[in-house]
Each structure stands twice: as C-alpha cells, then as structure tokens.
Structure 1
Amino acid sequence: METAEIARRFLAFFEKNGHTVVPSASLVADDPTLLFVPAGMVPFKPYFLGQATAPHARATSAQKCIRTIDIDEVGKTSRHATFFQMLGNFSFGDYFKEKAIPLAWELLTSSIADGGFGFDPERLWVTVYLDDDEAEDIWLNTVGVPAERIQRRDMEDNFWSMGVPGPCGPCSEIYYDRGPEYGAEGGPIADENRYLEVWNLVFMQFERGEGGAKKDYPILGGLPRPNIDTGMGLERMAALLQGVDNIYETDTLGRILRRAAELTGTEYGRDERADVMLRVVADHMRSATMLVSDGVTPGNEKGGYVLRRIVRRSIRNLRLLSGDESVRLHDLTQTAIDVMGDQYPELRADAAAIHGVIDAEEKNFADTLRSGTTLFNRAAARTRESGGTEFSGADAFQLHDTYGFPIDLTLEMAAEQGLRVDEDAFRQLMQRQKETAKRDAKAKKLGNADVSTYARLAETAGRTEFLGYTESESEARVLGIIVDGESAGAARAGDKVELVLDRTPFYAESGGQLADKGTVAVDGRGVVDVDDVQKPLMGMFVHRGTVRSGEIVVDDVVHAAIDADRRVSVSRSHSATHLIHSALRNALGPSAGQAGSENQPGRLRFDFTANRSLDAADLAHVEEEVNTVLARDIEVQYMETTLDKALQMGAMAMFGEKYGDRVRVVDMSDYSRELCGGTHVGATGQLGLVKLLGESSVGSGVRRVEALVGIDALRRVSTESALVGQLSEQLKAPREELPQRIDTMVTRLRSAEKEIERLRAAQVLQASAGLASGAREHGSTLVVAHRAPDGTGADDLRKLALDVRGRLGENSPAVVAVASVPGDRPVVVVAVNKTAQAAGLKAGELVGVAARALGGGGGGKPDIAQGGGTDASAVEAALRAVEQRVAEAS
C-alpha cells in the first residue's frame, strides 16, 4: 500500500466518523516557542491550551513534521529522519477514551477491502499507564484484547505533556509484533525492535505544574473538558504495510535513495559506509524539498540555517559517494517532488521555485567549499608546523559553524593529511551551542512580555474581532493590559503599555504589511498612542504604545482609531506588491515566487526567487506593465472562501505561506488573484504611479526589488526630471542626447586620468637614479630614505622603492625607505634586497619601525612591506627611525 494511499485511508476513515479533515499546516511553526512543527498536534495547541475555541469538535490531519535534534544521527540508523508525517485524530472536548480506543482498533484491523489496514489482531499488543484502569477496561471488555497482551508502563513511557505547565494525561500505545526474527518475546516492555509502536493515543485529562519535561511534576487537577490527541507515524506504518524492514525502503524515501545510488554508481546494501551516506541524501533531499516548499530559504539563522545544513550535507555525501563534482542535486529534488506530489500537489505547482532555491544553494556551497578548504589547509599547516598531529576541535567547529562543513568532511580531509580531529572538543562546542539555543528558545520573548503572559491572558480574554477591512475607528472594551511584561489592572501617563481589545480596526503586522498606528482613548480620562500591533497568539491583537495622558483601566470602553491616511498609503504599497509579483512572473516565469515583502507608507520591497538578476530592460518592462494595469483602473474585489475553492479559482497561494480552512482572496480581475489577509485599495488607479528603484540579491536564489508608490513615486520622478533638466542645460544638449554626450565625456575623462597617472609615475621614477647614487652607507649597508612629494600614492611609492632597490644591485646589502602623504594620512614603503635579507634585515620589521613613528602599523614580506599612520608631521622622523634601525643592525 503506497504512502499516499495510507494517508488517504486514514483521513477518509475519520471523516466518515464525524471528523473534519484539516490540511497540514506549514512546517514553519506558527508558535514563537518553536522553529518547526515537530508533532502532529502542534497546530492544535491553541485549542488544547484554551487560547482559542476549536472550529470543529473533531478533527483529523496528516501533518508534515521536522525534528532536527537528532540530525547528526540521520543515516547512521535506519529509523532516524528529519522529515516525517504524523497522522492524527483529535477531539476537543467531544469524545474520550471510550470512542478513541475502538476507533483506532477498527481502522487497524479492518480488512483492506473495507478501507482498513488489515492488521492481524493476534499480532497487536497494547500498553497503558500504570493506574489507567479505565483504558485497560476498554481494551479488555470493549475491544477484546487478551489481558496477556496488555502491559502497564510508567510515566516516562506512557504519560504525555507538552513539557511545560498545561494539559497532560496518560497514553495508550499500540504495538505490532514483527516476529521472533526481530527480537525476544515478551511484548513491548521486552523488545521495542520486535514489537514496533504504530499508534499513540493520548488522553488529555489533567493539568500539570512546573517540573521536568517527562516526569517529576505535580498534577494540579482535572481538565473541565478532556481532549483526545492521537498520532500514527506515516513512514513507520508504510514500512509495515509495504513489508520492508525500515522507512528507507518505503516507496517515498526508497525511491529517492535508489535514484541517489544510480547517480553515484553505488548499490545500497553492499557497504555500510555508503549506505549511511545514501540514507543521509534520501532523507535530507526530501526534507529540503518540503522546507523550501513551505517558504524556507537557506541562510545563517534559524530555519534557513537548518535548510542550508541539510542541503550541504547532501552535496558532500553525493561527492563522497560518486567522487564526481558534476553530480547535482537537481535530479534528486525532482524525484522528491515526484514521490511526495500525490500528497502535496503544491510541490508540483512550485517545482520551478523549489529547484531555483536548491540549485542556487548548491552553487553557493561550491564557492564556500573553496573558502572553507583554504581555512582548513591553513589550520592543518599550523598543526603540522607545531609538530602536532591533532586538528583542533575549535577549528573543526569554526568550519562547521561558519562554512557549513559537516564534521565528516573535516574528518576525511584531516585523515588525508595524516591528522586526527579532536572530536571531543568539537562535540563539546556543539553541545554548548545546542544548550545555548535551547535556553534562547525557552526564554524567547515577544515584545516586552513572555509568551506565557499572553497565554494566561488569552485564557480569559479570548479572540479579538478585526474590523479593519471596513472600519477605521470603533468602540471597544479593554480585555487586558500588560506593563513591563506583566499583566496589570491599569496603566498611567508615561507607561509603555500593551493593550488587548475585544474588537479593533488596527491591522496587526503580518503578510509583509506593517501594523497600523493611531490612538486608543478613554473619553475624558486617558489616551494611548499606538505605534505597533502584533499577534503573538492566534486571534490575539496586542496594541503597543505609550500612555500619552491620564490612565486606562481593564474593562474600560475605549475609542480605537487608526491613522487613516497612513493606512491608505500602506494599502497602496500592498496592492502594488501584488501587481509587481504578477509582472515578475510574466517576465521570469512561475519560478518567480514570493519570498518575503514589506509594505510601508508609500514604499515597498518585494523578495522573490530567481535564478538570475534583472537588467535595466527587465525592470523597465515590469514597471511599464504595472503602470499599464494602474491606468486600466481595475476594481479590486475581495471574497472569503475555502482554500480548495480559492485554488480552483486560480488564486495564487504565496510560496511558503500558512493558510487556514477559510481564506481571503484579493482579486484584480484577470491580472492578479492572490490569497491575502492584508488591506488594499478599491481600484488599481488609486495607486497613482509605481516607480521601481532597482533590484539586488538578498540571499541564495533570492532577489529583491524596491519601489515607491503614489505621491512618493511622483516626487521621485519629478526629482529625476529636474536633475535631467539641469544636466541638459549645463551640457547644452537635448535630453535625448544626454546618454551619448555623457558617455563621450566619461571616456575622455578616463583617458585623461590614465595619462595623468602615467606622467605622475614617470615623474616619480625620474628621481630613482639620483636617489640610488645618493645612498648613504651604514657599515656595509646602503640606505636610501626619501620623502616623495605629497600626493604620491602607495602604488607609485612601491614602484619607486623597487626601482631604486634594483639600481642598487645585490653586491652590497641595500635598504630603500620612501614615504609620502597622499591624502591626510602618511604612507611608507620599505624594500630590502636579497643580500640585506641574508644579513638579517627584513622589510616587514623595518616598516613597522616607521609605522610606529607615524602612529600606525604595517607589515608585509621580507623583501617589500607597506605601512601607514595618522601623524603626517612625523614622516621625516619615521624615515630617520628606519635609517637608525639599519645602522644599529650593521
């Protein structure tokens, strides 16, 4: 049974049993405490925590997940993976154990013909929590599992919590007996390799307090409405139903692995070292494809760093397997898209953009590999020069942290040079980094308040109703106040405050659109100037600002009003990003997917995936196309519908964006139709004018355009027109002839500069013969110490020093020191012939003597060196210092 069919059957079974099928959320967690979604229940956390009311009493999903904590173990075993999928069914206070347990058993044991998975009931075992008599009774008397196949386990194995205060409860897990060839008899407590866990049913019925993540925490009491959270690993289930030993032999990972073997000329199952590398490539390429599909781009921080790391591990392992740098990731990316495309059709739709990001990162790593190899060679040389045989853990960590070198790459390169790596020190530094990251994640703040402060407030405050699509001001009630990171009953003049209202016209920053500004006022008693609005939790709008006067108190009825002119200006910019996006796709193709944006009053930036830069002609074409649409004055329409219907309408889903069941479509006729929750103009003509300022690179495979909109664009055009007018007048040329006239002038200017440079260099070198003949003797050493005319540059000084040294020959030791002040900072150059070097005189040391006199520093090779300083009045003293040093040495 193929993986996609397993997921389809699971969702269909629970939909038939009254559950709403919820699409997988993005891998990028909509939770400030998480980087990626690590479990199927994470998108439902707000419902379990009581921060929001679940829209469905029952739900089921196939959720994409990423776990990176064991990334270094991927490939070493056949069970570790970074990307996996979790099938789950959930009840938000609807049914409990009495329903969840029989449903799980029915799906597992029903025949394949009847829509089930066809497991033999005699090979299924069950575990329950130590004192969960209720669950055991259901297994025994309702389902009919024999007592000898039910085992009790302690809190560490069969009790679940989120690791922090909140909902928790006992688990009941279902295991499949794979047979005696896989291990000892005795059930899950005897051997979890033979008895493989296939399903975990979590019964959230208690509330826990502070304490350890797994155990050693108090149970504070029961939840008013117990919940159900279950999870079944899709890859593990696929391995069982497809009759293979592990997830790397299933129809998804197995196909990518086999393709990697074909490309590298290897065979899986022959060599353990090669098998490890093939598993790494298969897992990482699937993970990378899914991450890029959800909008993650390679970078040096957070999710971008994780993506960069797994792509680079894939590249390195491919090279190790094939010994051929020409083997590329492109083919494997396509294989990953093909094998996952049945479950996630958006992969095929976004294929060009996904390829663009991964291909660009691969090219970027080729350059990085060269830089990192240089660093490695230097560190290895230092090790050998000191007589050592151990490459330092600190250098290995720097290669890993700065250049993205996998440790196995450093180990191999070190072995090639007869060195071993201090892996213990490397692991310690890695562990320290992990611990720091964990502490940072745990202590992560949003604004001035800890996330837990918002969570506690959400329990009583509920959701904020957004009125901003139609209203610019409204009456509202203050649900909560936060001052200095803590909930407060009131705030007074001068306080930095965060307000939560029951309804608001203020747009909270999201989707690239900046938040509204404005005021929240209590009639006759107090005013708050709002300068930012954020949504730290789903449905919670936090208005940040300063109490201008008076005071504001919880439960006050207030008047909330946005800066309407600013909102209109921001809305123009947001509408312009939609138009620019469409124009870029028309120019570059569908690979030009949105990778980020920011909409400010009158100004915008738009990031997009692309394999090449845009030249002036491209930009001109995009700008003209956008302004043509403005001239058509297309009406902007809005509608709310389901995600599926919106996509059927041709609405463009933003690359990597997260969407709920209901979405908002912003429709600009046949030109642009996108899913968007931002605010926009009523018709494209209201934008007035869009002026592109240029484009640039902002990362691997990502470009950026910036633009002005409306009156800001008009001012820019007016300014540029005035400048062109001034040039036309000064050059006495019509505007259309200015490019040719300026080009001619620039050509003449460059030619004149070259001639001036030639004459200056010749003038400087004219003094060479006289300087050489006037060399002073200090012992057996000839010394020339000369101040060149001020304005002589460093290059000319070097030419002069080398020319004079050449004229002095090699019969006697010779030192040449020349200095000048080309600007306001002095420069000195010292040249030493080979005879003087043999006598112990080094240019680098001598230039240091001069540079110290100038109040600076310098250095170079033994034969020639350069330095400088800040004291232009000390040039003569610097030259005398060099001469004195030579005299002492002679």
Structure 2
Amino acid sequence: METAEIARRFLTFFENNGHTVVPSASLIAEDPTLLLVNAGMVPFKPYFLGQRTPPYDRATSAQKCVRTIDIDEVGKTSRHASFFQMLGNFSFGDYFKEQAIPFAWELLTRPVGEGGFGFDAEKLWVTVFHDDDEAETLWRERVGVPAERIQRRGMADNFWSMGVPGPCGPCSEIYYDRGPEYGRDGGPIADENRYLEVWNLVFMQFERGPGSGKDDFPILGELPSKNIDTGMGLERMAALLQGVDNIYETDTLGRILDRAATLTGVKYGDHERSDVSLRVIADHVRTATMLVSDGVKPGNEKRGYVLRRILRRSIRNLRLLSGDDVFFMHDLTDTAIQAMGGLYPELASSADMIHNVIDAEEKNFADTLRSGTTLFNRAAQRTKAGGGTVLSGDDAFRLHDTYGFPIDLTLEMAAEQGLSVDENTFRDLMNRQRETGKRDARLKKLGNADISTYARLLETSGATAFLGYTDQESEARVLGLVVNGEPVTVARAGDDVELVLDRTPFYAESGGQLADKGTITADGRGIMQVDDVQKPLAGLFVHRGTVRSGEIVVDDQVHAAIDGDRRASVSRSHSATHLIHSALRNALGPSAGQAGSENQPGRLRFDFTANRALGDAELAEVEEEVNTVLAGDIQVRDFETTLDEALAMGALAMFGEKYGDRVRVVEMSDYSRELCGGTHVGATGQLGIVKLLGESSVGSGVRRVEAAVGIDAFRRLSKESLLVGQLSEQLKTPREQLPERIDAMVSRLRAAEKEIERLRAAQVLQAAAGLAAGARECGTALLVTHRATEGVEADDLRKLALDVRGRLGEDRPVVVAVTGVPKDRPVVVIAVNKAGQAAGLKAGELVGHAARVLGGGGGGKPDVAQGGGTDAAAVDAALRAVEERVAEAR
C-alpha cells in the first residue's frame, strides 16, 4: 500500500466519522516558541491550551513535521529521520476514550477491501497508563483485546504533556508484533524492536503544574473538557504495510535512496559507511525539498540554518560517495518531488522555485567545500603534528566565518580524523559576533510579552477590526494594555506600552509592508505615540509605542490617527513592488517568484528566486517597462474572493504564505494580479517615477532589487544628474562621452600601476645576488636574513626569498628569512631548500616561531611559508627567533 494511499484511507475513515479534514499546516510554525512544526498536534495547540476556540469539535490531519534534535543521528540508524508525517485524529471536548479506542481498533483491523489497514488483530498489543483502569477496561471489554496482550506502564512511557504547565494525560499505545525474528517474546515491555509502536492515543484529561522531566510535576486536577490527541507515524505505517524492514525502504524515501545509489555508483547494503551516507542523502534531500516548498531559504540563522545544514550534509555525503566534484542535487530533488507529489501536488507547480534554491546552494557549497576543506585539513594536520586531539575553537570559527562551514560539518569532519573540537571557544566567538544582532532582535517584533498574554487578549476581546483600507483615523475603544510583558489597566506618561483596540486604521507590519505610525489620543486623559504595529496572533493588532502625556486606561474611548503622508509613501512603494514583480517575471519567466520584500517610505527592496544575476541591460528593460506601465495611469483595484477563484484567474500568491478561504486580490488591469493584504495607490500614475538602484544576491537562488519611488526617485535622479554634470565639467568632456573618457583614464592608471609594480619587484630582486653572497653559517645550515625597505609588498618578499634560495643551490641546507612591513602590517616569508627540509628544517614551523614574535600567526608548506602579526617594531626580533631555531637544528 503506497504512502499516499495510507494517508488517504486514514483521513477518509475519520471524515466518515464526523471529523473535519484539516490540511497540513506549513512547516513554518505559527508558534513563536518553535522554529518548525515538530508534531502533528502543533497546529491545534492553541485549542488544547484554551487560547482559541476551535472551529470544529473533531478534526483529522496528515501533518508535515521536522525535528532537528535528531539530525546528527540521521543515517546512523534506519529509524531516525528529520522529516516525517503524522496522521492524527483530534477531539476538542467532544468524544473521549470510549470512542477514540474503538476508532483506532476498527481502522487498523478493518479489511483492506473495506477501506481499512487489514492488520491481524492477533498481532496487535496495547499498553495503558498504570492507573488507567478505564482504558484497560475499554480495550478488554469493548474491543476484545485479551488481557494478556494489554500491558501497563508508568509515566515515562504512557503519560503525555507538552513539557510546560497545561493539559496532560495518560496515553494508550498500540503495537504490532513483527515476529520472533525481530526479538524476544513478552510484549512491548520486553522488546520494542519486535513490538513496533504504530499509534499513540493521548487522553488529555488533567492539568499539570511546573516541573522537569517526564514525570517530575504535580497533577493539579481535571480539565473542564477532555480532549483527544492521537498520532500515527505515516513512514512507520508505510514500512509495515509495504513489508519492508525500515522507513528507508518505503516507496518515498526508498525511491530517493535508490536514485542516490545509482548516481554515485554505490550499492545499498554493501558497506555500513556508504549505507549511512545514502540514508543521510535520502532523508535530507526530502526534508530540504519540503522546507523550501514551504518558503524556507538557506541562511545562517534559525530555519534558514536548519535548511542550510541538512543541504550541506547531503551534498558532502554525495561527494564522499562519488569522489567527484559533481552536481547531483537537481536530479535528487526532482526524484523527491515525484516521490512526495502524491501527497503534496503543490510540489510540482513549485518545482522551478525549489530547484533554483537548492541548485544555487549546491553550487555555493561546492566552492565552500573546496576552499574550506583545504583549510580544515591544514588545521587538522597542525593539531595532530603537535600531538593534540582537539581542533581549536579559533580554527572552527575561521571555517565558519570565512568559508561558511557549519559547526556541525566541522564536528563531523573532525570526528572522521579522530579529533574533537573546542566548541566552547567556538560558541564564545560566535556569541560575540552576534551580540549586536541579538540586542536588536530583542527590541523588535514580538516585544517582551509571552504569547499567552496575547492569546488571552484575543480570546476575551476578539479580533481587531481593520479600517485602514478606507480610513486614516477612527474612534475606538482600548481593549487591553501590556507593559513590560504584563497586562495592566493603566499606562502612564513615559511607559513603553502595547495597546489593543477594538478597531484601528493602523496597518500592522505584514506582507513586506512596514507598519503605520501615528497617535492614539484619549480625550482629556492622555496621548500615545505609535511607533510600530504587529500581529503576534492572527486578527490581533498590537500597537506599540510610548505614552507621551497623561495616561491611557483600559475601556477608554480614544481617537486613533495614522501619519497619512507616511502611509501614502509606503503605499506607493508597495504598489511598485507589484509592478516590479510582473516585469521580472516577463524578463525571467514564471520561476521568478517573490521571496520577500520590504516597503518603506519612498524606497523598497524586492527579493525573487533566480539562478543568475540580471545584466545591466535587463535591469534597464525592467525599469523601463515599470515606468511605462505607471505612466499609463492604470487603476488599482482590490476585491475579495475565494482562494480557488483567485488562483483560477491567475492571481499570484507569495510562496510559503498562509491564506484563508477568503482572500484579497490587488490587480492593475491584466498587468499585475496578486493576493495581497497591503495598502496601495488608487492608480499607477500616483507612483511618479520608479528608479531601480541595483541588483544583488542575498542567498542561494535568491536575488534582490532595490528601488526608489516617487519624490525619492526624483531626488536620486537629480543627484546623479548633478554628479554627471560635475564630472563632465571637471574632465572637459560632453556627458555622452564620459564612459569612453573614464574607461581610457582607468586603463592608463592600471598600466601605470603595473609598471610601478614591475619596477619595484625588479628593485627588490636586485638585492638577491648580494644577499646570497652574504649567506652565513648557522648550525648545519646556510642562513640568510633580511629586512626589506618600506613599501615592499608581501608578494615581493616571497619572490625575493625564493630567488635567494635558488641561488644557493641544494648542496647543503639553506634557510632564507625575509621580513617587511607592507601596509603597516609586519610580514615574514621563509624559504627552505630540499636539503634543509631533509635536515628537519620546515618553513611552516619556522614561520610559526617568527609570527608569534610579531603577535600573529602563519603557516604553509615545508618549502615556503608566510606569516604576519601586528607588532611592526618586532621584525628584527622575529628574524633572531628564526636564527635561534635554525641554530638548534642538528
């Protein structure tokens, strides 16, 4: 039975039993405490916590999940996976154990021909919480499971909570006996490899208090309404129903694994090491495909880092297997899209975008891997040569900071060479680098309030009515106030406050559009300056700012007014992004999808998926097309319709964005039609001018254009015109001839620089003969030390050292050490001939001695090495250190 069919049967069964089928939520969790959805119940968590009223009494879903805690274990076993799918049925105060238990048994044992899974009832075992007599009785008397196949277990195994105070309750788990070839007899308590868990039924009936661990917390009492939360792992069920030993042999993961084996020429099952790599590749390619499809882009923080980490692990394992600098990710991503398409048909329509992102990351990492691996190998060799077993935190940080190596990759590569990594030092260095960013992040977006504070406001006060499409000011009532993360009834002058109104003209930041600013005034009582507006929960507008005078009290009638000029400027920028989006798609094709934007007063940035940069000519064409359209003064129209109707009429949706059944469409004739909740101009002519400021890369497969709009664009053009006029006057050249004139000047300048460099190098090398003649005995070697004059470049020092070494031949050991201070930074270069190396004199080691005296470091090959430092006054001392070390050699 194929994986897609298993999911279809599960959902159909529960739909026929009165459950609402809820589509899988995006992997990007709404819960700000989670990076990614990691369990099937996560989208329903607000209902279980009482933060929101569920729109249905019972539901069923097949939920996409990603767990990052086990990423390091993926591949090492055939059980661990980073992406998985959880089938579940849920009741919110509707039914409880007396229905949940028979539902599960019926679906598992119903014949395949009648829509069930066809499990042999004799092979199913059940566990219950040790105090849950009710569940045990239902299994035995209502369902008919023999008492000897029902086992009781403690809190660690059969009691569930979210890990925080709130709903909790006993579990009942269903296990399938795979037979004596998989382990010993005795039920799940004896062997969970033979007896494989297929379904976990959670009976949420209690409230727990604070505590740690799985069983160290008090039970405070029963919940007012009892809930059901069940979970069935789709991959595990597929393994059982397809008659294979593990999830990597199923129809989805197995398909990707087999393709990876074919591409790399490796047979699965031949060697444990290659099997581990193939499992890593299969799991990570599928996970990456699903993450990108939900709008995650590779990066160095949060979700982006998770994606980058798994992509780079899969790419590196591909290269370990193939031994070549090859690109296989496009082919494997295509296989993953086909394998998962039965459950997620949207993957096919998004294939171009998914490929663009993953292909670009593979290309970028190929460059990183080449250069970074060289640096890693040097660091590893240096560590081993010194008798160490721990790679320094400085080396790990340099790999990350310079070459983009994730620490996890450094740890893996170190382990392969029998080394560990000084992670504490690495983390310290990373923390210092991120300190400024973290401070900024703490001050932004969700503020200090816990999400439950907002949830209670939404539950008690209801959603905020947004009036901003038509009104710039309105009367409203204060529903709630939050100061320092805590609800209050009054906020006084000087307080930084978060305020919720029953209605508002203020636009909350979303869809790339910055929030409105303005004032909220309580007549005769106080004034609040609004600096930001956010929606921490859907429908809840939180106005953030400072009480400037008087006080604001809950239930006050207030007057809310936005800064109209600022709104108009932001709206022009937002409308311009729609025009730019359409022009880019016309230039690059439909794969140029929106990947983010920011619309601020008079200026915008627009991110889009593309696997190449736009040339200057293409950018000019996009800019001309946009300005031609806006000059036509097309009317901008917005309207609401259903999501299906909007998509049918060709409206573009931002990938990864969540949409409800009703959506707002913003259209500019047939030129642009998008789903959008932002504010816009009434006609394109109101934009005035759009000036593209440039195009750049912001990540794997993602490009960015920036633009000025309206008066800001005019000012930019005026400034550029003034600058061109000044250049024209200064160079005594007509404007239209400036490019040729400047190009000629630059060419002459480069030629002059090359000639100066040639003369300087020749001058340096003139000293080579005299230095070789002045070589002196030092221990068993001939030694030359020289301090170059000011202005000598590091390259010149290297050429000089090699020239002098060559003049002294190979009859006996030779060491040449030259120093200089180019650009106020001391440099030392050491060259050793073959006889010197045979005598134990290594250039890299000698440079290390000299560079430490200079307050720095360095290294290189045994024949030539270079180092540097910060103490220019110590160059003579550095040469003496080399002389002392050569004298000691025997």
Q: TM-score with structure 1 length normalisation?
A: 0.84
Distance 2:314 2:489 in 1: 55
State the shift of 1:39 in Å: 0.6
* Equivalent residue in structure 1 for 2:409, among 401, 405, 411: 405
State the shift of 1:652 in Å: 2.4
* Equivalent residue in structure 1 for 2:419, among 414, 418, 421: 421
Distance 2:864 2:326 in 1: 42
State the shift of 1:714 in Å: 1.8
Query: Are 1:128 and 2:128 matched, yes or no?
Result: yes
The answer (yes or no) to whether the contact 1:379–1:391 under 8 Å persists in 2 is no
Q: Deviations over 1:17-75 (max 9, x none)?
A: 33332221111212111111001111121222222222333322211000121122222
Query: Are 1:33 and 2:37 matched, yes or no?
Result: no
The answer (yes or no) to whether the contact 1:857–1:867 under 8 Å persists in 2 is yes
State the shift of 1:394 in Å: 5.8
Distance 2:53 2:850 in 1: 76
Give the length in aligned residue pairs. 861
Percent of paired sites with the same residue: 71
State the shift of 1:531 in Å: 0.8
Q: Deviations over 1:729-771 (max 9, x none)?
A: 4445443333233333433444455566677888x78997999
Distance 2:11 2:679 in 1: 35
Q: Per the alignment, do residues 132 and 881 of structure 1 end up closer, same or farther by CA in structure 2, a change over 3 Å counting?
A: closer
Q: Match for residue 417 of structure 1? A: none
The answer (yes or no) to whether the contact 1:632–1:685 under 8 Å persists in 2 is yes
Q: Match for residue 702 of structure 1? A: 702
Q: Per the alignment, do residues 733 and 493 of structure 1 end up closer, same or farther by CA in structure 2, a change over 3 Å counting?
A: same
Q: Per the alignment, do residues 270 and 485 of structure 1 end up closer, same or farther by CA in structure 2, a change over 3 Å counting?
A: same
Q: Which amino acid aligns with 2:336?
A: A
Partner of 1:95, secondary structure, is coil
Distance 1:113 1:814 in 2: 85
Q: Match for residue 299 of structure 1? A: 299
State the shift of 1:404 in Å: 4.9
Q: Match for residue 209 of structure 2? A: 209
The answer (yes or no) to whether the contact 2:414–2:420 under 8 Å persists in 1 is no
Q: Match for residue 686 of structure 1? A: 686
The answer (yes or no) to whether the contact 2:95–2:228 under 8 Å persists in 1 is yes
Q: Match for residue 151 of structure 1? A: 151
The answer (yes or no) to whether the contact 1:61–1:87 under 8 Å persists in 2 is yes
The answer (yes or no) to whether the contact 1:643–1:661 under 8 Å persists in 2 is yes
State the shift of 1:857 in Å: 8.8
Q: Which amino acid aligns with 1:725?
A: G
Q: Which amino acid aligns with 2:38?
A: P
The answer (yes or no) to whether the contact 1:260–1:332 under 8 Å persists in 2 is yes
Partner of 2:304, secondary structure, is helix
Aligned positions of 1:721-736 closer than 5 A: 721-736=721-736
Query: Are 1:352 and 2:356 matched, yes or no?
Result: no
The answer (yes or no) to whether the contact 1:2–1:251 under 8 Å persists in 2 is yes
Partner of 2:536, secondary structure, is coil
Distance 1:284 1:319 in 2: 14
State the shift of 1:795 in Å: 7.3
The answer (yes or no) to whether the contact 2:797–2:820 under 8 Å persists in 1 is no
The answer (yes or no) to whether the contact 1:815–1:836 under 8 Å persists in 2 is no
Q: Per the alignment, do residues 500 and 507 of structure 1 end up closer, same or farther by CA in structure 2, a change over 3 Å counting?
A: same
The answer (yes or no) to whether the contact 1:316–1:409 under 8 Å persists in 2 is no
Query: Which is further off, 518-527 or 258-267?
Result: 258-267
Partner of 1:535, secondary structure, is strand
State the shift of 1:619 in Å: 0.9
Q: Deviations over 1:153-203 (max 9, x none)?
A: 322222221111112222232333333433344433333333322222222
Q: Which amino acid aligns with 1:496?
A: D
Q: Match for residue 240 of structure 2? A: 240
Q: Per the alignment, do residues 323 and 29 of structure 1 end up closer, same or farther by CA in structure 2, a change over 3 Å counting?
A: same
The answer (yes or no) to whether the contact 1:522–1:557 under 8 Å persists in 2 is yes
Aligned positions of 1:476-875 closer than 5 A: 476-751=476-751, 794=793
Q: Deviations over 1:465-506 (max 9, x none)?
A: 333333322233323222223222221111111122233222
Q: Per the alignment, do residues 519 and 370 of structure 1 end up closer, same or farther by CA in structure 2, a change over 3 Å counting?
A: same
Distance 1:867 1:339 in 2: 54
Q: Which amino acid aligns with 2:377?
A: N
Q: Per the alignment, do residues 41 and 469 of structure 1 end up closer, same or farther by CA in structure 2, a change over 3 Å counting?
A: farther
Q: Per the alignment, do residues 169 and 560 of structure 1 end up closer, same or farther by CA in structure 2, a change over 3 Å counting?
A: farther
State the shift of 1:830 in Å: 10
Q: Which amino acid aligns with 2:447?
A: G
The answer (yes or no) to whether the contact 1:573–1:603 under 8 Å persists in 2 is yes
Partner of 2:127, secondary structure, is strand
The answer (yes or no) to whether the contact 1:570–1:601 under 8 Å persists in 2 is yes
Q: Per the alignment, do residues 611 and 221 of structure 1 end up closer, same or farther by CA in structure 2, a change over 3 Å counting?
A: same
State the shift of 1:324 in Å: 3.4
Aligned positions of 1:227-306 closer than 5 A: 227-306=227-306
Distance 1:592 1:252 in 2: 29
Q: Which amino acid aligns with 2:610?
A: A
Q: Which amino acid aligns with 1:405?
A: L
State the shift of 1:817 in Å: 9.7
Q: Per the alignment, do residues 808 and 141 of structure 1 end up closer, same or farther by CA in structure 2, a change over 3 Å counting?
A: closer
The answer (yes or no) to whether the contact 1:156–1:214 under 8 Å persists in 2 is yes
Distance 2:641 2:635 in 1: 19
Query: Which is further off, 202-211 or 378-387?
Result: 378-387
Partner of 1:171, secondary structure, is strand
The answer (yes or no) to whether the contact 1:277–1:317 under 8 Å persists in 2 is yes
Distance 2:180 2:205 in 1: 37
Q: Which amino acid aligns with 2:2?
A: E
Partner of 2:409, secondary structure, is coil
The answer (yes or no) to whether the contact 1:846–1:882 under 8 Å persists in 2 is no
The answer (yes or no) to whether the contact 1:201–1:231 under 8 Å persists in 2 is yes
State the shift of 1:4 in Å: 1.1
Q: Per the alignment, do residues 468 and 175 of structure 1 end up closer, same or farther by CA in structure 2, a change over 3 Å counting?
A: farther
State the shift of 1:81 in Å: 0.9
Distance 2:132 2:604 in 1: 58
Q: Per the alignment, do residues 468 and 829 of structure 1 end up closer, same or farther by CA in structure 2, a change over 3 Å counting?
A: same
Partner of 1:478, secondary structure, is strand
The answer (yes or no) to whether the contact 1:830–1:843 under 8 Å persists in 2 is no
Partner of 2:324, secondary structure, is coil
Q: Per the alignment, do residues 881 and 629 of structure 1 end up closer, same or farther by CA in structure 2, a change over 3 Å counting?
A: closer
Query: Which is further off, 198-207 or 252-261?
Result: 198-207
Q: Which amino acid aligns with 2:472?
A: S
The answer (yes or no) to whether the contact 1:517–1:530 under 8 Å persists in 2 is yes
Distance 1:403 1:333 in 2: 25
State the shift of 1:428 in Å: 13
State the shift of 1:290 in Å: 0.8
Q: Per the alignment, do residues 206 and 645 of structure 1 end up closer, same or farther by CA in structure 2, a change over 3 Å counting?
A: farther
Distance 2:26 2:312 in 1: 23
Q: Per the alignment, do residues 139 and 353 of structure 1 end up closer, same or farther by CA in structure 2, a change over 3 Å counting?
A: same
Distance 1:264 1:851 in 2: 46
Q: Which amino acid aligns with 2:215?
A: K
Distance 1:843 1:29 in 2: 51
The answer (yes or no) to whether the contact 2:828–2:850 under 8 Å persists in 1 is no
Question: Pairwise CA RMSD of aligned residues?
Answer: 4.7
Aligned positions of 1:92-111 closer than 5 A: 92-111=92-111
Q: Deviations over 1:53-108 (max 9, x none)?
A: 22333322211000121122222222211101111222233333333333333333
Distance 1:786 1:381 in 2: 31
The answer (yes or no) to whether the contact 1:9–1:116 under 8 Å persists in 2 is yes
Structure 2 stretches of 5 or more lacking a match? none
State the shift of 1:224 in Å: 2.7
Distance 1:860 1:365 in 2: 25
The answer (yes or no) to whether the contact 2:794–2:827 under 8 Å persists in 1 is no
Q: Which amino acid aligns with 1:594?
A: Q
Q: Which amino acid aligns with 1:421?
A: L
Q: Per the alignment, do residues 809 and 451 of structure 1 end up closer, same or farther by CA in structure 2, a change over 3 Å counting?
A: same
Q: Match for residue 312 of structure 2? A: 312
Q: Per the alignment, do residues 17 and 578 of structure 1 end up closer, same or farther by CA in structure 2, a change over 3 Å counting?
A: farther
The answer (yes or no) to whether the contact 1:765–1:803 under 8 Å persists in 2 is no
The answer (yes or no) to whether the contact 1:64–1:85 under 8 Å persists in 2 is yes
Partner of 1:405, secondary structure, is helix
